[in-house]
Structure 1
Amino acid sequence: MKTLKSAAIIGACMMSSLVGTQAMAVEGGTSAYLMGSRDSFAGIVPGAGTYVGIDLITFSGTISGLSLGGLPIRADTDVDANLIKVSITHVFDSMLWGGTPAVNFNIPILDVGIDYVAVTPPVTGRAVSDNTSGIGDITITPMLGWHRGNLHYSAGLSIFAPTGQYDTASVNLSPLDVDVLSNGKNIWSLQPVLAVTHFDQTNGREFSAATSLLFAEKNDATEYQTAPAFTLEATAMQHLANGWAFGATGYWYEQLEDDSGQGAANTRAALGADSLRASALGLGPIVTYSSKLFGNPLSLKLKYFREFDVERRFESDILWVNATMTF
């Protein structure tokens, strides 16, 4: 069995995947945090060093009714997105409050498109599409990690900065041109998180879990206040002596109350909805492999999520590949 330090390198994949900004918010069918980011070794802050990660994520989903850029859309809407995330995590060779300090910087580059057939006048029956690409909202996550035998746990605070381009929706009727997507969300968000990992090196069994709360400020451009959201993520893995590991990973997302503000009120009225409160469950397989490249530790990860029991969010299929190297 590989040593805990080598196994913790895979944990750097968790830190390289802590956050993922998309072109929409809960206001637009998704949230600032890309659910399922915290998986294997979620509670481990690894040894001192610099970890550079690349995430390649593709997902497609559908939703019946949402608001994008302040424009309520009643039609069934499809989304297809590709996301590249560049992540740099530095773990300090020092101690703070008995734990190991680290900081993660996450830069997303996105390409998103939506399609729907309008169901409201004056464009009823017309096919509508929009797309956007570019750098999204950057995230910074300071964290602390502790170790006690087979038990490892960490605490962090993700800060989502509104660095991506943002515009409110615009519609031209002749010719029909609908511009509703943006690269960023136009709001600051904070996400405190607690994570734990139990890893037994004698049998290779791992269980990891992370819980977090996401708080977003009001979007002044649309007068829309997204309600706080709770996320619970869990992963069970079997690690082998040859560096491979196999398991299952999943998440539960639940907004704690309904969205508010005039923008939310307008959306509820336009959609004929009693509530915009969102929830989702996701589950799928995960495979990891730990090796070396040019003498440096390398970790690879492949996972897939199928979402179900989704309310007021895009219900998506998500394919996720990660590679992280230690320097």
Structure 2
Amino acid sequence: MATEGGGSTYNPGVENFLVGAAPPPGFYVLEYLTHYRANRLNGDSGNSLIPDFSLRATAAATRLIWSTDTRIAGGNLTLHTILPLVDLKVSTPFFSQSKSGLGDITFGPGIAFHHSPQLHSVAAVDFVAPTGGYKASDPVNIGRNYWSVQPLYTMSYIDPTGFNGDFKATLNLNGKNSDTNYRSGHEFIVDYSAGWGVGNGWTLGVGGYVYQQLTDDKSNGVKVPNNKARGFAIGPSLKYDNGKGWFITAKLQQESSVRNRPEGAALWIKTSIPF
């Protein structure tokens, strides 16, 4: 399967409104909650590969952000880490397995720019460490068992009573799984949102992702043909911002045009807790 089992060290669609608007200098905690269900594991032509396939994943991830006063290239240096707790279950006619625990940890630096009161952006590099539980003989694993490097760029346009638009473009460069000698192909993902501020802190719109695997997987150094993954998701999205540093976003996204990955739907909730 593409990206060694249809998974990835980046979860497409994780971000929503305000993804490019880094907070002022200080320490912040963001909480991400998600529940994902899929009843299809699609092949290269979009066909279902396994009858009665079922995947359920629930995760709670704590993101710690330190926005510093240090200036670099006209922006502020930021540092962050993401600590995910994952509960995962996969069932097929051939096996059923559940696992839960700490997933792969993400960390990295970024530079936050505030171009105007409405327009903000961040350039960053994330690193994903193989801290999640992994066993090569198991069909279900929380961790991926390899490092990834993720150059990324985000931008947000914010208007409390007008158009709001956000995107996060991520290039996911995957390392090799030393236990299987398998290298998942590199990926390009764009998380997006678009909406309209209706006043009193509320923004209503849509959000989702566009995903494309760029390079072939390699098994023992040999390309695996006809297995590049791709997908698209869209669904309703909303944001509430109290204007005092606290906000919450929610999104329900449905996947389509999926190849070499599970196809399903996800609920995402994100909230900020300033200190």
Please confirm whether the aligned pair reaches a TM-score higher than 0.5, indicating the same fold.
yes
Q: Does 1:307 align with 2:262?
A: no
CA distance in 2, matches of 1:135, 1:25: 24
Superposed displacement of residue 264, structure 1: 7.5
SS at match of 2:208: strand
CA contact (8 A) 2:16 2:249 kept: no
CA distance in 2, matches of 1:114, 1:216: 24
Look up the match of 1:30.
7
Higher-strand-fraction structure: 2
Look up the match of 1:116.
92
- Report the AA paired with residue 228 of structure 1: H
CA distance in 2, matches of 1:200, 1:98: 23
CA contact (8 A) 2:106 2:128 kept: yes
Look up the match of 2:120.
152
CA contact (8 A) 1:25 1:32 kept: no
CA RMSD of aligned residues (A): 2.2
Q: Does 1:161 align with 2:111?
A: no
- Report the AA paired with residue 85 of structure 1: A
Q: Deviations over 1:211-266 (max 9, x none)?
A: 1210011111111111111112221121233111111112110011221123976x
Superposed displacement of residue 140, structure 1: 0.3
Task: Calculate percent identity across the aligned residue pairs.
Answer: 29
CA contact (8 A) 1:224 1:264 kept: no
Unaligned runs of 5+ in 1: 1-23, 67-73, 119-127, 170-178, 269-273
CA distance in 2, matches of 1:308, 1:65: 13
CA contact (8 A) 1:65 1:75 kept: no
Q: Does 1:213 align with 2:213?
A: no
Q: Does 1:135 align with 2:95?
A: no
Distance 1:65 1:205, change over 3 A: closer
Superposed displacement of residue 65, structure 1: 6.3
Look up the match of 2:144.
185
SS at match of 2:4: helix
Q: Does 1:287 align with 2:263?
A: no
Look up the match of 1:63.
41
- Report the AA paired with residue 26 of structure 2: G
CA distance in 2, matches of 1:53, 1:99: 21
CA contact (8 A) 1:54 1:84 kept: yes
Q: Deviations over 1:61-100 (max 9, x none)?
A: 120469xxxxxxx634321111111111111123222101
CA distance in 2, matches of 1:263, 1:65: 22
Distance 1:200 1:302, change over 3 A: closer
Structure of larger gyration radius: 1
Look up the match of 2:266.
318
Output the TM-score relative to the length of structure 2. 0.90
Q: Does 1:262 align with 2:220?
A: yes
CA contact (8 A) 2:2 2:261 kept: no
Higher-helix-fraction structure: 1
2:69 to 68, 76, 93: 93
CA distance in 2, matches of 1:197, 1:109: 28
- Report the AA paired with residue 57 of structure 1: T
CA distance in 2, matches of 1:142, 1:322: 21
Distance 1:310 1:233, change over 3 A: same
- Report the AA paired with residue 302 of structure 1: A
CA distance in 1, matches of 2:99, 2:141: 6
Q: Which moved more, 1:43-52 or 1:217-226?
A: 43-52
Output the TM-score relative to the length of structure 1. 0.76
CA distance in 2, matches of 1:185, 1:25: 13
Q: Does 1:82 align with 2:50?
A: no
Count of residue pairs the alignment pairs up: 268
CA contact (8 A) 1:45 1:100 kept: no
CA distance in 1, matches of 2:41, 2:123: 33
Distance 1:263 1:284, change over 3 A: farther
SS at match of 2:131: coil
- Report the AA paired with residue 75 of structure 1: I
CA contact (8 A) 1:225 1:264 kept: no
Superposed displacement of residue 25, structure 1: 8.5
2:80 to 104, 109, 119: 104
CA distance in 1, matches of 2:184, 2:144: 11
Look up the match of 2:29.
52
CA contact (8 A) 1:91 1:102 kept: yes
Q: Does 1:278 align with 2:244?
A: no
